[in-house]
Structure 1
Amino acid sequence: MGKLSSAIAGEEAKLRLGDASPFSFESLIELAEAKSRMPWFAPTAGPAEVLSQINYDAHGKIKFDTSLALFALGPGQYPVVFSHLGTYFRFPVTMHVVHDDMAREIVFDDSYFDMPADSPARRLPPGNHFAGFRFQESRSGDQRQLDWRTNDWVAFLGASYFRAIGDQYQYGISARGIAVNVAQASQLEEFPDFSHFWFEAAADTRSSAVIVYALLEGPSICGAYRFVLHRDKGVIMDIDASLFLRRDIERLGIAPLTSMFWYSNTAKPTAIDWRPQVHDSDGLAIWTGNGEHIWRPLNNAPRTMASAFIDNNPKGFGLLQRDRDFDHYLDGVHYERRPSLWVEPLGDWGEGSVQLVENPTDAETHDNIVAMWVPKLAAQTGQNFRLRYRLHWQADEPFPSPLARCVATRLGRGGLPGQDRPEGDRKFVVEFQGDGLAKIPFGVRPLAVLSSSRGKLSNVFTEAVPDGKQGHWRAQFDLSVEGREPVELRLFLQLGDEALSETWLYQYHPFTSEPLASAGQESSGLISSVKAV
């Protein structure tokens, strides 16, 4: 068995640990591959009649005793606390601690948790009731001197979902280990689970990194994951994943991101809510393999929409929260502080597409947005994928374009002041700001390079926004279109042969009385293909 350090041995007095057995990432990969060749059996959940009573409020009252936290005495800076099963987290997850290449299971015990005397969790039968975990802030404090017992910075909870705070100390957007058949009409979406976690004891007490391993299991896929989590300004995660397919998958989503977009000032329905905007993310940013920077504002679509942005070896993509002005939200939950999440591929990802799925929602309680990488290569039974990528949880994308960026998208009635406004025509005002636009000579206007997948464009012009801010310009145009199928718009600013701005893409859904398209009907945009599902 390898010898446990005194610090890890000290955990044994607090947490019940099982027998030691050899462990390595290579052996975990072998286990995932072996399981992929075996029949899949759904994990056993706790009794539904009890779990259904551990709702959001009841679950929030079940607190892990921080005095029992893994690594509370070291090694490393960041203690681990555990989450209990509940209505939304029904499947138990097995936890292990690793030291000197030996793993020991952390055996569940009710005494680890403080809960009210009448908590429905007390009626669960004996067994493993761990649902997830959190890493707490540093025991040695940070620049804000946060109490580690009450502040955490990363959480893994539910299926393969996980999230982290950004440099504004806020949770928001989530990531997933994998996405299987999101918005796929021919197959139901699957939600594979991280069924086992292993926490590696830190070798250096001063290290700002922690290492976690995970086993992913689902009906169509098995996987082995290695997470190296860095707590710095925001959070950075280096992820190494080996995936093995049990059966064919129509849409395999790599590095999937999940967020919420209810509405923004772009197209807010009248009096839908007292707040000006409600969203965790306001747009999809892509840095393509050929170096183009793309900004695609999000929609609360009238029906589920899936857009594919074809690429080869993308440099990165992410769901961002660009609008950081409190007055644009006016909410005490501080949507303006929600982290952006950027995916940086490490190595060759080949051909495929960044895919964006937008689902309709009528409330802020639903995560209705998914962004992910979908390989061009068909995901078939017996295939395996080895992928490495880095996740950046911070306020902004880590590799911003030197070009001017889109700062606002506004819609209104088409036509010109003092003239008849054609019914159904839509005016677009797209604002850009950046150093390149600030250098335009006085009296010179940049060109709006504009195109649409259908419809007629008119009244196109650019002008400096009259707010006294250098490099703040807007492009305006009208779109006249018939029918209700979406329109793909593309725009950037140019002077001579030089592009001055990133590329703005937008999917416009006309407001008409015509019937919706049937499921499966397709239309093609200039960069994205749009599929109504």
Structure 2
Amino acid sequence: MERRSLLKASMALAALGLPPLPAFAAKNEGATSTDASSSHFDFKWLRQHAKSMSGQAFKPTTETLPESLTLEKLRPLDYQKITYKPSHALWADDPKADIRLQFFHVGMQFNQPVRMYSVDRDTGQSHEIHFSPELYDYSKVGIDPKTLEGNDLGFAGFRVTKKPRWADNQDIVSFLGASYFRAIDKNNQYGLSARGLAINTAADGGAPEEFPSFTHFWFIHPEPNTTRFVAYALLDSPSTTGAFRFDIDCQDEQVVMGVQSYIYPRKPIARMGIAPMTSMYLTGTSQKKARDTIHPQIHDSDRLSMWRGNGEWVCRPLYNPKTVQYNAYPDENPRGFGLLQTDHDFENYMDNQAWYSRRPSLWIEPTSQWGKGAINLIELPTVGETVDNIVAFWVPEEKVQPGETMSFSYTLYWSPLPPVSPSLAHVDKTWTGMGNVLEGWIPGDKSPEHYARRFAVDFKGGNIMDLPKDADIEVVVSASRGALSHQQVLRFDDVKAYRAIFDWTPESEDTSAVTFRMYLRHKDKPLSETWLYQWVPPKPEERFY
């Protein structure tokens, strides 16, 4: 938001009886450049401000960047070479602060200035943090900082560093672009992303997707010697505004974020996604031929895990489809869901560049009553590992209408595995291959009489290995269409698992997706979580071995 527009907005807010945003009056104070004047800030004010904005027309705040920062002149690798000077980090002048913040430079497609404010934790007084070329090192990118002087360009986002890792300048949390943000766990590798809000992702009727943006952040000065801090954010888009509170704890093993969100729609929204997650799935054990690659597996996440409101655990392995696949899983007050990376064995990826074996999982735990709705999963086709093709979020059952207030609270866990897991056996891996053959079949034996696809699911954990080896374990499986056969269960003592197997045979030339649902049962009691899978059969002329 440019200075003139912000001053006009401040005067309008004052006329409505709401406190204005802080005025701009630059002064050097501590490690960063901040305003001499200040105004009181709290979450109540931010909610009032966001609600007031929702009754006004949306005003884009993108700016025309200096030529040296445009996408035509600044490539991604060059953008990464613009580095923030650690000595100017927010809270660097506080010897008792274990957390410091650095700010991303505007440039390339990041041309919407994000305004940053530092808030005194005792008084609640906020000061804006201003852009200055003196905050950055441009020596590796060839930009003359003098050409950027005199322009308050704002920032593109922020990154968090933590003691004692200041020496290597390694960030553990970053907010960059629209309302996207990421975090790492003990494996020190970024993976999937979260968002503040998703709007009209793969919506019916051709409604264009919208990417709301965090346009302002307020940072509360952290308590001494703690890895925890609080940030507030103002969200804005053509369809809605929002007020967010992030309670971020940068622990050694994981990053935990408590989120409170208040949404104020400007207009009806066809599909509003709460707690959205974005990830990548290219190829895995069940889709070995999805891409001709030297790596056995390539994915940031391997499954959508859901702990439903009724207590059922559901595992939905991810899929790289040939066309867009959209699924909605109805629920009421879900206990949790997330996109997980459960396989952390390096040998299953053989990749020491992207390090998919180190990617974190992201688990969402609602901390308020979300009511009725559905967990949505959208899978897009991809042939490259640089494109996020997996999206998951919660969609409320009630239609989103302008003038109302919607509130959702939840906790995000960025960790190798979620903080909770089913007490029953869980899905380990999913495999597929030719069907209508006996296990152990080799080429040269009698060929299969007709086409079928075999599915195998490995279950581990719970008390499943405590059962007698001759226990009567059933495969309870259903398919949305087609015929099922060859159901069997094999015990694998070497890997402490049971493998459930079944074949699927087409009964028509239909090539739309088939949905499978399966679990293991013993004496009428479930032994495992529910495996839910979607698979697209080949065209009739491709149904051969």
Please report the TM-score for the alignment, with normalisation by the length of structure 1. Answer: 0.90
Asked if the contact 2:30/2:93 (under 8 Å) is kept, the reply is: no
Task: Give 2:483's aligned residue.
Answer: 456
Asked if the contact 2:426/2:462 (under 8 Å) is kept, the reply is: no
Secondary structure class of the residue paired with 1:365: coil
From 2, 14, 22, give the equivalent of 2:31: 14
Task: Give 1:403's aligned residue.
Answer: 424
Secondary structure class of the residue paired with 2:45: helix
Q: 1:334: how far off?
A: 1.5
Could you tell me which amino acid in structure 2 is paired with residue 42 of structure 1? Answer: P
Q: 1:42: how far off?
A: 1.4
Task: Give 1:524's aligned residue.
Answer: none
2:338 aligned with 1:315, yes or no? Answer: no
* Partner deviation per Cα, 1:348-368 (whole Å, 9 max, x = no partner): 100000000111111010111
2:238 aligned with 1:219, yes or no? Answer: yes
CA distance in 2, matches of 1:117, 1:293: 50
Could you tell me which amino acid in structure 1 is paired with residue 408 of structure 2? Answer: L
CA distance in 2, matches of 1:512, 1:360: 17
* Partner deviation per Cα, 1:246-275 (whole Å, 9 max, x = no partner): 001101000001111111121121761111
Asked if the contact 1:66/1:149 (under 8 Å) is kept, the reply is: no
Correspondence list, 1:35-434, <5 A: 35-47=53-65, 50-52=69-71, 53-74=73-94, 75-99=96-120, 100-116=123-139, 119=142, 122=145, 126-138=151-163, 141=164, 146-148=165-167, 150-185=169-204, 186-202=206-222, 204-232=223-251, 233-269=253-289, 272-332=292-352, 333-416=354-437, 417=441, 418-434=445-461
Could you tell me which amino acid in structure 2 is paired with residue 469 of structure 1? Answer: V
Task: Give 1:530's aligned residue.
Answer: none
Q: 1:191 to 1:124 in 2, by over 3 A?
A: farther
From 507, 524, 536, give the equivalent of 1:509: 536
Secondary structure class of the residue paired with 1:244: strand
Q: 1:78: how far off?
A: 0.3
* Partner deviation per Cα, 1:153-175 (whole Å, 9 max, x = no partner): 10000000001001222111110
Asked if the contact 2:31/2:92 (under 8 Å) is kept, the reply is: no
* Partner deviation per Cα, 1:40-95 (whole Å, 9 max, x = no partner): 01122233854112221111110000001001132531011110112232211001
CA distance in 2, matches of 1:177, 1:514: 45
Secondary structure class of the residue paired with 1:468: helix
* Partner deviation per Cα, 1:396-447 (whole Å, 9 max, x = no partner): 1111011111111111011113443255410111111113211111212410
Task: Give 1:23's aligned residue.
Answer: 41
Asked if the contact 1:58/1:119 (under 8 Å) is kept, the reply is: no
CA RMSD in angstroms comes to 1.9
Structure 2 gap segments, 5+ residues each: 1-26
Secondary structure class of the residue paired with 2:334: coil
CA distance in 1, matches of 2:460, 2:351: 26
CA distance in 1, matches of 2:472, 2:28: 67
Secondary structure class of the residue paired with 1:154: strand
Could you tell me which amino acid in structure 1 is paired with residue 133 of structure 2? Answer: D
Task: Give the ranges of 4+ consecutive aligned residues of structure 1 lying more than 4 Å apart after TM superposition.
Answer: 120-125
Q: 1:121 to 1:344 in 2, by over 3 A?
A: farther
Could you tell me which amino acid in structure 2 is paired with residue 23 of structure 1? Answer: F
Asked if the contact 2:82/2:141 (under 8 Å) is kept, the reply is: no
Asked if the contact 1:445/1:462 (under 8 Å) is kept, the reply is: no
CA distance in 2, matches of 1:66, 1:508: 49
Could you tell me which amino acid in structure 2 is paired with residue 34 of structure 1? Answer: S
Secondary structure class of the residue paired with 1:33: helix
CA distance in 2, matches of 1:39, 1:121: 38
Structure 1 gap segments, 5+ residues each: 1-9, 516-533
Could you tell me which amino acid in structure 1 is paired with residue 403 of structure 2? Answer: G
Asked if the contact 1:136/1:149 (under 8 Å) is kept, the reply is: no
Please report the TM-score for the alignment, with normalisation by the length of structure 2. Answer: 0.88
CA distance in 2, matches of 1:220, 1:335: 36
CA distance in 2, matches of 1:147, 1:64: 12
Q: 1:11: how far off?
A: 7.4
Could you tell me which amino acid in structure 2 is paired with residue 218 of structure 1? Answer: S
Secondary structure class of the residue paired with 1:95: strand
CA distance in 1, matches of 2:285, 2:45: 51
* Partner deviation per Cα, 1:302-331 (whole Å, 9 max, x = no partner): 111111010000000000001111000011
CA distance in 1, matches of 2:144, 2:288: 42
Asked if the contact 1:235/1:393 (under 8 Å) is kept, the reply is: yes
CA distance in 2, matches of 1:422, 1:340: 43
2:531 aligned with 1:475, yes or no? Answer: no
Task: Give 2:23's aligned residue.
Answer: none
Asked if the contact 1:484/1:514 (under 8 Å) is kept, the reply is: no
| Percent of aligned pairs sharing the same letter | 38
Count of residue pairs the alignment pairs up: 498
Q: 1:117 to 1:339 in 2, by over 3 A?
A: closer
Task: Give 2:52's aligned residue.
Answer: 34
